[in-house]
Amino acid sequence: MLSIRLPQDIENRLEKLAKSTGRTKSFYVREAILEHLDDLEDYYLAQHRLKKRGKQYLIKDVERVVADD
């Protein structure tokens, strides 16, 4: 269970969307969180990998090796 406070304008938009589609506000909040959570997880995974730098390659060198194969 999670309880959040939203600014009134967002609450109004959410209420209008829910009424016009026959879905619940919870449905749309859950969908928005899941969508954004995927993006956040990807972002932090990328940040973590950048901090653990291994050998780096320039794109022109990679393209040359691929073209030679």
What pLDDT is recorded for position 14?
A: 97
CA dihedral 50, 36, 9, 19 (to 10 degrees): 170
Structure confidence by residue, pLDDT tens digits, 9-49: 999 999 999 999 999 999 999 999 998 999 999 999 988 88
What pLDDT is recorded for position 2?
A: 86
SS3 letters across the chain? CCCCCCCHHHHHHHHHHHHHHCCCHHHHHHHHHHHHHHHHHHHHHHHHHHHCCCCCCCHHHHHHHHHHC
